[in-house]
Amino acid sequence: MSLSKEQKAALYRNLVRADQYNRMMYRRMMQGKLIGFYHPAEGAIAPGVAACTFLNQDDNLSPHHRGHGIIHMMSKGIDIKYYLAEHTGKDTGCCQGRSAFHFSFPEHKVYMMSGFIGYNFAPAVGWGLAAKRRGQGQVVMNCSGDGSYGQGRAHEAMLMAQNWKLPIIFFCENNGMSIFSTAGEMHPTPDIASMALAYDMPSVICDGQDVFDVAEAVLPAIERARRGEGPTFVEAKTLRFNEHDIGTPDLAGWEERGEQEHQEMRKREPVALATERVLAEGVFTQEQIDGLNEEAEKEIAAVEEFADNSDIARPPESELLADVFAP
Amino acid sequence: MRTITLIDAIKEAYQEELRRDDSVFLVGQDLRGAIFPHTKGLVEEFGTERILDTPIAESGMYGAAFGAAQEGMRPVVDFMFGGFSYVTFSECSVTTGQYYFLHGSQQSLPIVITAGVGTGQRLANDHAMSIHGTFAHHPGIKVAMPSTPYDAKGMFKAAIRDDNPVVIPWHMGIMMLKGEIPDEDYVVPLGVADVKREGDDVTVLANSMQLQHALKVAEKLEGEISVEVIDPRSFVPFDIDTVLQSLEKTNRLVVVDEDWESGGFAATVSARIMEQGFDLLDAPVTRVTLPNMPVPGGYMEEYVAPNPEKIEAAIRAVCA
C-alpha cells in the first residue's frame, strides 16, 4: 500500500515528538530526575510510532518496554505528562505515584506494564477475545522485542490467537539485542517472523529504521484484524543505538560494541532518514520541520513542568492499605 | 430446601451466574467434556464462547481470563488441579495481586480462580497440594474455600460477583458431600467465618475437608470435651474477630489446615492470635498441618496428612 501525504505528515510529526521525548527521558535520568531506570530508545523509535499513530482510542495497546512505552503511548494520543509525573514519584502520576515506571491508562486501553518481559502475550489473548466478542472492529497492538519471543507465553498467545482468529497484531521490534545477548545467539532463525509459519499466521518483515516502511507493513495488518480475519505477525528490523538501560555497559555478548558498529548504525538514524524523504516528497518544507521541532520542545517543556511542579506522593500507610482491594 | 452434593452446588452457582450476567464466562481445559462433574452439560446451554476450552497452555489460558477481566468481563478460570495454577504463577499471583493497587486503584480485576485440591485421592504432590496459603501470601487477592454444599454455592456466587480477584479452590475429598441448600438465590459473603458447632472447652479452626473431620471428632468427644468448631471460610480477608470471640469462652485453639506447617495459613493464624489474643489463651496455639514434605501419594497420604486421629490428639493435648 502507499501512504497518503496526510499519513506521512502524521507519522513524521510523531517521529519528531518521539525523538525529543526519548532525549528528554535520557537527560532526566542522567540528571537524577527520574525514578528507577530508563531504557533509551534512540535508534528504535520508528516502529512504535508507525504501529500506534493510526490506532483508535478503543484499540488495545501493549507498548514495547524500550522508551518505557512513551513513544507508543504518545503516538496513540495519550498525554504523557501523567506518566512523567508517575516516573518522578508525584501524586499526579497515572498510578498515583505508586508504580515507579509502570503505567496504566485504562481509558485508552493501555492497561498495564509489568517488569516481567513478555507478560503482555497472555493478557493480549483476553483483550483479543473481548474485542472479537464485541464485534466492533477493535484491534490489539501487541508490541514486544525479539527477546520476549523466547517466552513460552509468546507461543501460547500465537496459538490461541490463530485458533480463534483474534484481532491481534504481533508486532516484533527486533533490535537484535536483549540486554547484552544477541538475537543471533538466542534465536535459531534470522527472522523472528518465521515463528508465525508454525501457526499458519500471515507475517511481514519491514525496515524498522524507516517509519513509512513500517506503517506500510502494519496498516494492512490492522485493517485485516479489523475485518475479523485474524492475527498478523509484523517484524520491524531495528537498531538500539544506546546501552540496554542507562548505566549498564554497551556490550554485545560480553564484549564492547565497537566504534565501527556505532558509526554504521547511526547512518540509519530514523529521524534523518524520514526528514530526507519528507523534504524530497514535499510533505514538509524545512521551515515546517523547524516548526514541528519547536512545537515538540514546547510540548515537552510543559510535560516536564507539570511533573516538576507536582507534589511527591507520600500517603500514609493506612491509606495505602485501604486501597489494596476494590471496594 | 434441597439436598445436593458440593460439586453440584458449585455447578448451580455457575449456571445461575452465567444466566444472570452475560459477562460471566468459564475458561479452562476440557471443561466442555467435564473432567469434573461441575461443568457437565454447561456447554449445551451456554455455548463454546462462554464455556471456553483452551489448549494445554496455562499462561495463555489465564491470560485470556485476565485480559477479558480488564475488558469488563467476569471470567472464572478453572485450573483443573490447584497445583497447575503454578504453571502460570507469575500471572495469577504477582501480576493479578498487584494490578489494582500498583496501577493507582483505577480499575478492579473481577476474576475467579478455581481448581480441585487436597488429599484423599492418593494422587501425590502436584495433584494434591493446597494452594490457598500460597495465594493468601500475595496481597490483593481474596482467598476462600468452602466446606459444605451450602457454603460452596453461596461463596462461588459471592466470588463471581466480587470486583476483586478471588482464589476459591474446592476440596476433592468432599466433592460428593451432601448438604441442604435453599431454592432461592443467596450468597455467602467472603470474609465471614462460621461457627459450625458450638462448644466450651476448645476452639478448632478448620477449613474444607478438615472442617468435616473436625466436626466428626467433636461429635466423638461429646460428653468428654466440648469442642467449638469454626470454619474461617475465607483466608483473605480473615475474620479473626469470630475466633477471638470464641477464645474468650474456650481459651484454647487448635488450627487444622491441609497446607504445609511452614509459612501456611495456620502459621499466620497462630501469630495473629498471639499478637491479638495472647491474654485469652490458657495453652499454646496448636497446629495440625501437613508436615514439611511433598505430599506423598499412594497409601502414605492417609497417615501423613491431617486426619481425625491427629485432630483428636491435638485437642486432647491442648486440653490436658
Residue ranges of domains in chain A: 5-321
Residues A96, B64: C-beta atoms closer than 8 Å? no
The pLDDT value given to residue B228? 98
Q: B31: Cβ–Cβ under 8 A, 6 or more apart, which residues?
A: B39, B42, B43, B51, B52, B53, B78
Is residue A307 within 8 A of residue A85, CB to CB? The reply is: yes
Q: Which residues in A lie closer than 8 A to residue B23 (C-beta atoms)? A: none
C-alpha span between A176 and A185 (Å, rounded): 10
- Give dist(CA B222, CA B208) in Å, integer: 22
Inter-chain touch A325–B142, beta carbons under 8 Å: yes
Mutant choice from B52, B91, B102 vs A, greatest count of A C-beta within 10 A: B102
- Contact call for A95 and B63, based on CB within 8 A: no
Q: Determine which of A90, A102, A111, A144 to mutate to test the interface with B (most B C-beta atoms within 10 Å).
A: A111
ipTM for the complex shown: 0.92
pLDDT of residue A115: 86
Chain A residues inside the 8 Å CB shell of B55: 156, 159-160, 163
Residue range B194-319 in CATH 3.40.50.920: yes
Give the pLDDT confidence score for residue B177 in this predicted structure.
98
C-alpha cell at A178: 536483549
How long, in residues, is chain B?
Answer: 320
- Is residue B218 within 8 Å of residue B227, measured between CB atoms? yes
Q: Mention the CATH class of domain A5-321.
A: alpha beta
In terms of phi and psi (left: phi > 0; alpha: psi -120 to 50; beta: otherwise), the region of B279 is alpha
**Closest Cα partner for A11 from A221, A215, A264, A249?**
A215
Across the interface, whether the CB atoms of B102 and A99 are under 8 A apart is answered yes
Q: Which amino acid is at B246?
A: S
Give the residues of chain B that fall short of pLDDT 70: none
Length of chain A: 327
Residues of A in contact with B144 (CB under 8 A): none
Which residue of B lies nearest to A152 if distances are taken between CA atoms? Answer: B59
To the query of whether residue B127 is one of the catalytic residues in this protein, the response is yes
Torsion B34-B38-B42-B46 (CA) sign? negative
Q: Report the residue from A94, A106, A127 with minimal CB separation from B67.
A: A127
A157 vs B contacts (CB less than 8 Å): 60, 63
Question: Using CB atoms, which residue from A126, A320, A323 is nearest to B63?
Answer: A126
Q: What are B's interface residues with A at a Cβ cutoff of 8 A?
A: 49, 54-55, 57, 59-73, 75, 88, 90-91, 94-95, 99-109, 139-140, 142, 163-164
- Cβ contact (<8 Å) for A160 and B103? no
Nearest chain B residue to A125, by CA:
B64
Distance in Å, alpha carbon of B243 to nearest chain A alpha carbon: 23
A70 touches chain B (CB under 8 A): no
Do the domains spanning B2-181 and B194-319 agree at the CATH topology level?
yes
How far apart, in whole angstroms, are the C-alpha atoms of residue A132 and residue A165? 8
Contacts A–B by Cβ distance under 8 A: 127
Chain A nearest-CA residue for B57? A156
pLDDT of amino acid A114: 87
Integer distance in angstroms from the first to the last C-alpha of chain B?
41
User: Which residue is catalytic, options B38, B103, B127, B138?
Assistant: B127
Positions in chain A short of pLDDT 70? 1
Does domain B2-181 bear CATH number 3.40.50.970?
A: yes
Put simply, the chain A residues between 75 and 114 with a CB less than 8 A from any chain B CB are 93-96, 98-99, 102-104, 106, 111-112, 114
CA distance linking residue B156 with residue B172, whole number of Å: 16
